[in-house]
Amino acid sequence: MYSLLRGHWLYLFLICVWLAPRVCSSWWYMGALGTRVICDNIPGLVSRQRQLCHKHPDTMQSIGDGAKEWIAECQHQFRHHRWNCNTLDRDHTLFGRVMLRSSREAAFVYAISSAGVVFAITRACSQGELSSCSCDPQKKGTSKDNKGTFNWGGCSDNIDYGISFAKAFVDAKEKKGKDARALMNLHNNRAGRKAVKRFLKLECKCHGVSGSCTLRTCWLAMADLQKTGDYLRRKYNGAIQVIMNQDGTGFTVANKNFKKPTKNDLVYFENSPDYCVMDKEAGSLGTAGRVCNRTSRGMDGCEVMCCGRGYDTSRVMRVTKCECKFHWCCVVRCKECHEMTDVHTCKAPKNADWLDHT
């Protein structure tokens, strides 16, 4: 029996997002299906992905677990923005129609999700959770620090395996379509994979007499996914708008004044909507009801967030710990304090069109 099925809705969603946003309506029946032949029951998998799924059910599980992390990272990066990487509980496509467009936001989601798969698989390899890989004993090197030169070659994170599996699995769908969208997705998927590799760092453990560190074991380890998230977020800010070549094999910069994209840059075709109002076709949920900051002049400020529509203010009670005292020995006891704070939320547009959709 595949352990795969254990509540991994996210994984199922994920497959939908990448692979079959238009044919995902059957997803909700997955829970009712048996545990057999799950790979065959995932609609929208191309045959290559189905093969991989059959061959590596344990890896599919890691990908599913990893999805929670990259989605959380995406939402963290965009928490102060009109588009906040929100997932739609009742929408099988997870991000709504954003993913059907070729906007800057789609570019980011493809990159972070692809990075998330690399991260999850690589970590699972190192933790011995996968039958097809382990940590990478091949990586060896010489480094130098204030205590002198030393050799290292402990068990490193097997990022090359993570990258090649992610590439095979995630990119498989795009290979089918040779259209502009496929080209864009492949580019951003690769940028995401490469981003994880940037943040490998040497970690060491000292041995020797009372931590003298005359002997040490070192290995290359991945940094937190947040490092990759921060980096891709900067790449999102500098994402480059492109158009397809005449011969359909690559991109040209849409505006000749901008630099050509490198493999590390995110690329997109379409301008984004302003995300102010609900427009499902454009992939926008609108900002009605979003919490904003009255004093901020940034993206999270009520002026920007609410697109000039104004905001409602409500007083809410916050319970916090306070007047904490240390008691001998050894507990800290606190009181519960109640304080009133104002919470501001964006008003809906006047011609409350979005109400029809809720």
Ligand X SMILES: *[C@@H]1O[C@H](CO)[C@@H](O)[C@H](O)[C@H]1NC(C)=O
Residue ranges in contact with ligand X by CB under 6 A: 293, 295-296
Residue ranges with strand state E in the chain: 141-145, 148-152, 200-207, 215-222, 240-244, 251-253, 267-268, 278-279, 284-285, 291-292, 311-327, 331-346
Helix axes 9-19, 57-77, angle to 10 degrees: 80
Q: What's the min distance (Å) between Cβ of 317 and ligand X?
A: 16
Q: Comparing C-alpha atoms, which of 210, 113, 201, 196 is closest to residue 161? A: 196
Q: What's the min distance (Å) between Cβ of 84 and ligand X?
A: 15
Q: What's the min distance (Å) between Cβ of 97 and ligand X?
A: 30
Q: What's the min distance (Å) between Cβ of 71 and ligand X?
A: 22
145: left (phi over 0), alpha (psi -120 to 50) or beta: beta
Collapsing DSSP states into helix, strand and coil, what is residue 36? Answer: coil
CA-to-CA separations, 222 to 14, 63, 191, 229, in angstroms, rounded:
23, 17, 16, 13
Of 206 and 343, the one with the shorter C-beta distance to ligand X is 343
Collapsing DSSP states into helix, strand and coil, what is residue 151? Answer: strand
Structural contact between residues 224 and 245, judged by C-beta atoms closer than 8 angstroms: no
**Helices and strands (H, E) in the chain, number of each type:** 9, 12
Of 79 and 201, the one with the shorter C-beta distance to ligand X is 79
Of 54 and 76, the one with the shorter C-beta distance to ligand X is 76
Of 319 and 329, the one with the shorter C-beta distance to ligand X is 319
CA-to-CA separations, 11 to 27, 63, 202, 351, in angstroms, rounded:
11, 7, 31, 38
Q: What's the min distance (Å) between Cβ of 230 and ligand X?
A: 19
Q: What's the min distance (Å) between Cβ of 256 and ligand X?
A: 37
* Residue 242, beta-bridge partner list: 253
Of 51 and 296, the one with the shorter C-beta distance to ligand X is 296
Q: What's the min distance (Å) between Cβ of 298 and ligand X?
A: 6
How many angstroms separate the CA atoms of 128 and 40, rounded?
A: 27
60: left (phi over 0), alpha (psi -120 to 50) or beta: alpha
Q: What's the min distance (Å) between Cβ of 296 and ligand X?
A: 4
